[in-house]
Amino acid sequence: MDLTQIYDILEKAHHRYNQPAFIENDPICIPHNYSKLQDIEIAGFFAATLAWGQRKVIIRKCRELLALMDNAPYEFILNFQEQDLKPFLNFKHRTFNADDTLYFLHFLQFWYKNHKSLEEAFTQNFYPDETSIEKALIDFEQLFFSLPFALARTRKHVSTPMRKSTCKRLCMFLRWMVRKDDRGVDFGLWRKIKPSQLVCPCDVHTERSARRLGLITRKQTDWLTALELTENLRQFCPTDPVKYDFALFGLSQSDSDFFYEIPSE
């Protein structure tokens, strides 16, 4: 299959799946419940963090968590006292438990009491000429666990390229915050990271489609795999390669008439 054929498949799938109808059954519906910058950031950060497993369960658990914040996450984060955290002791999603939740809440309170936006947590040492968000992710993970009471067990919930992770959930969160087009799915609220610097979230669905299209050849699934996928997507849209995240995910979920030209394995 040549590049023209792959481009045609990706563009058709992009136009089909990058639509507001995509929002309702995806974790991105959680931050779409809010209009204030900080509410969107906090809801999006938790939604991305909890985004593993069945999407219906992810959405239900996100709503449960935000309900504990009276569905006003920014106000809650700024003002909670220790006694306000008791309801969170019963919160759990898979391996994300109450201890993890409490640390996330304390970090966010520390951050928002000193900064206007979570964007700054990713971009304090991030420069316009960076080729990707790799440095932003490394710096954020180190910052996130810089509080003296950081928990070792919580580290598995905030990935970093330093541990060779694909950083799927953080890449997805940054996609939500940075990308902006006329489709109304992503928010495009942040300006210090460019869409061209994003790395494609490499989950099992996206990876499956990408391998069928020959966009991933690396045998392992790690940070270098995510970079390989993104670099190949840049051939089709250098300024916004991650726009095809929608397409690849959708292709994996559908019967996929788009794959009519791909030989069966």
DSSP at 263: P
Does residue 253 lie in a domain region? yes
pLDDT tens by residue, 18-29 = 999 989 999 999
Overall number of domains in the chain: 1
pLDDT of residue 252: 87
Q: For residues 247 and 14, is the Cβ–Cβ distance under 8 A?
A: yes
Q: For residues 51 and 58, is the Cβ–Cβ distance under 8 A?
A: yes
Mean pLDDT for back-to-back runs of 10 residues, the chain (265 residues): 93 93 94 98 98 94 98 98 97 97 98 98 96 98 97 97 97 97 95 98 94 96 98 97 94 61 40
Rg (CA), the chain: 18
Neighbouring residues of 159: CB distance < 8 A, sequence distance ≥ 6:
137, 141, 165, 166, 167, 168, 169, 170
pLDDT of residue 254: 65
One-letter amino acid for residue 232 of the chain: N
Range of the domain at 91: 3-260
CA–CA distance, 86 with 214 (Å, rounded to integer): 50
Q: For residues 12 and 169, is the Cβ–Cβ distance under 8 A?
A: no
| 3-class SS of residue 96 | strand
Does residue 237 lie in a domain region? yes
DSSP-based helix, strand, coil % in the chain, nearest 5: 60, 0, 40
pLDDT of residue 265: 35
Q: Tell me the residue length of the chain.
A: 265
pLDDT tens by residue, 102-130 = 999 999 999 999 999 999 999 999 999 99
| 3-class SS of residue 127 | coil
| 3-class SS of residue 93 | strand
Does residue 265 lie in a domain region? no
Calculate the alpha carbon distances from 95 to 157, 172, 236 in Å: 9, 20, 38
CA–CA distance, 146 with 219 (Å, rounded to integer): 34
Does residue 225 lie in a domain region? yes
pLDDT of residue 257: 52
Does residue 143 lie in a domain region? yes
pLDDT of residue 253: 76
pLDDT of residue 261: 45
pLDDT of residue 75: 98
pLDDT of residue 1: 79
CA–CA distance, 51 with 64 (Å, rounded to integer): 14
